[in-house]
Amino acid sequence: MGANISALITESVDKGGVVLSVHKIKVKEKEAKLIIPKIESALPKLSHIEVKSCRMAKITPKVVDLTHLTVFKAQDNKLSVLPSLKPLQLVELDLSTNKFDTFPQTILELTTLKILAISENQIKQIDGLVSMAKLTSLNIAKNEVERFPTLPQSLKSLEASFNKFTSVPKEI
């Protein structure tokens, strides 16, 4: 099916075809190199992107052109830096199983974010989450966090196992 999607997107962009009305796309492994560069112009109403196991080392800054994007999942890649996604109104962001060793501060710009998963990285410290007033679900499991982060009051679900906490606040 991936080859068909890639061909359809290529035809739409390269031959002036109709603009596709696709709202959700999942890209795995080799498809990423073919599809990702063409998504912005061919799929302007895209609201969900899942880019899994693609060995992707960076996110194209053009992703901010996808003004309808609310869910961005980039699990099991090689990401270590997150560009600013500020214009986007993301509700869910999943950066699990990547190469982050520091918490991307650009996440704090995402004021509409409700679900954040950044598990299975090598993050040692997480600061600023308290400012994320709409965050309801957080997964920071399987990192190297030593100091328990201050959490927003809106948080309802927390997964923080397999870290290196020296202490956990009483209210948790």
pLDDT mean values, one per 10 residues, the chain (172 residues):
45 47 66 63 80 88 86 95 94 98 97 98 97 98 96 97 90 75
Give, rounded to a whole angstrom, the gap between the first and last alpha carbons of the chain. Answer: 45
Name the pTM for this structure.
0.83
What is the pLDDT at residue 7? 46
Q: Is 74 exposed, middle or buried (0-12, 13-18, 19+ CB in 10 A)?
A: buried
Instruction: In whole angstroms, give the CA distance from residue 160 to residue 169.
Output: 13
Instruction: In whole angstroms, give the CA distance from residue 124 to residue 148.
Output: 10
